[in-house]
């Protein structure tokens, strides 16, 4: 009974320790990324490149032109101009 109780308590402590380390490391990495000047500069560079790509990829308005040459008055249905 004593071994069972000790193993349960150890299992709970180990699982709590592993969960607390995950959130602690995540918080530390978030703080590092927020305070690092090089990462901020690189992030602003990437944002400027994305804006440049969006503004540079604008296509001109499509233009369509057509003309019809009439060679004469053809009233029959078997005449086609290519």
What is this structure's pTM? Answer: 0.39
Q: Is residue 67 a part of any domain in this protein? A: no
Residue 1 above 70 pLDDT? yes
Q: Per-residue pLDDT tens for 55-68?
A: 877 778 888 877 66
- What letters, b where the CB count within 10 A reaches 16 and e where it falls short, cover 45-82? eeeeeeeeeeeeeeeeeeeeeeeeeeeeeeeeeeeeee
Q: Is residue 10 a part of any domain in this protein? A: no
How many Å apart are CA 44 and CA 68, to the nearest integer? 54
Q: Per-residue pLDDT tens for 22-46?
A: 567 778 888 888 888 998 999 999 9
Number of domains in the chain: 1
Show the domain range for 45: 25-50
pLDDT band at residue 53 using 50, 70 and 90 as cut-offs: confident
Q: Is residue 62 a part of any domain in this protein? A: no
Which one, of 60, 79, 63, lies nearest residue 71 by Cα?
A: 79
Residue 47 above 60 pLDDT? yes
């Amino acid at each position: 009974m004593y071994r069972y109780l000790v193993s349960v308590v150890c299992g709970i402590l180990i699982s709590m320790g592993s969960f607390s380390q995950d959130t602690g490391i995540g918080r530390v990495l978030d703080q590092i990324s927020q305070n690092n000047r090089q990462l901020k500069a690189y992030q602003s560079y990437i944002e400027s490149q994305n804006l440049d790509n969006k503004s540079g990829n604008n296509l001109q308005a499509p233009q369509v032109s057509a003309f019809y040459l009439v060679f004469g008055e053809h009233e029959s249905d078997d005449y086609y101009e290519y």
